[in-house]
Amino acid sequence: MDLCPNAYYNYRKKRKASYHQRKEKIKQVILAIYHEYEGRPGYRMMKVFLERKKIFLSKNTVLKYMQELKIHSIRRPKKAHYHKGEAYKRFDNLLKQDFTSKKPNEKWCTDFTYLYLSDGAGRYNCSIIDLYDKSIAATFNGKRIDAALAIDTLKIALEKNKVGKDLILHSDQGSQFSSKNFTEYCEKEHIRQSMSRAGCPYDNSVMESFFGTFKDEFIKQHIFDTDEELNNGTIDYIWLL
C-alpha cells in the first residue's frame, strides 16, 4: 500500500486514544446514573438507562465497566418477619394524636426502624422524641429488634434528661414495648405507657415522619460497611438536628 510504518502505528494509537476517551465518558455517565438512583441499578438496569441516553452497549460491556468502577447494585433483603408473641400488657392511647406538650420531658414517642449495612446485614434503630420541641431524647442501634434495644434506648434518654413522675411514653403495640421486661422497667421508672391503636400509624405519626427524614437525608446518602461506621454516623446526624 506504499504506507509509512510510522503513519500506520500513529493511526492505531489515535484510534486507541479515541476509544479510551469515549470509554471514560461512558463510565462517568454510569457513575452519575448509579448515584442518582442511590446505588440500585445493576448492569441490566444500567443498560436500559444508558439506552435512554442513546448509549448502546451489550450487557457484558456494561457489567465490565461497572466492575472496573467497582460499583454494583446495593441489594436490600426483604424485611424479616417476626413472631409478635403474646403481649404481657397493652395500654390505652393517652395521646390520641395530640403531639403537643407544654413542657420538656412530659410526653415522649418511640419506635423502631430497619437499617442495613453494605453487605445486606440487617440492623435496627430505636429512637425517642420529646414532643415539647421534637428533639431527640435518645437514639440507639442494635443487631436485634427486641425489648432489650428498647430498654437500652430508654435508659439513655433517662440518663440524659431530668424526668418527673408524669412522663408519658407513647409507642405502637409491638411485642418489644408490650413485653414483661419493658413494661416492668417503665413501671420501675414511674413512666406511664401509651400505645397506638393496632394498625394505625397516624397514632404515632411523629415517629413515622422522623424516620422518613432520617432515611432520606442520612441513610440513603451513605453506605456503611461496619457497625462502627453506622453507629458513629447515626449519632453525628442525630445530634446535629
Q: Say which CATH number the domain at 151 has.
A: 3.30.420.10
Would you say the C-alpha torsion 166, 167, 171, 174 has a positive or negative sign?
negative
Looking up cell 393517652, which residue turns up?
A: 94
In the prediction, which pLDDT does 45 show?
A: 83
3-state helix, strand, coil in the chain (%, to 5): 45, 15, 40
Say how many domains are in the chain: 2
Q: How many CB atoms lie within 10 A of CB 154?
A: 24
Contact 130, 137 (CB under 8 A): yes
Q: Are residues 159 and 213 in the same domain?
A: yes
pLDDT along the chain (241 residues), means of 10: 65 70 92 83 87 92 92 61 61 95 96 90 95 95 96 96 92 94 96 93 94 89 90 88 64
Q: Are residues 58 and 147 in the same domain?
A: no
Q: Are residues 121 and 203 in the same domain?
A: yes
Calpha distance 191→22 (Å, rounded): 65
Domain boundary, last residue among 69, 89, 121 = 69
In the prediction, which pLDDT does 35 show?
A: 83
Q: Which domain holds residue 177?
A: 107-240
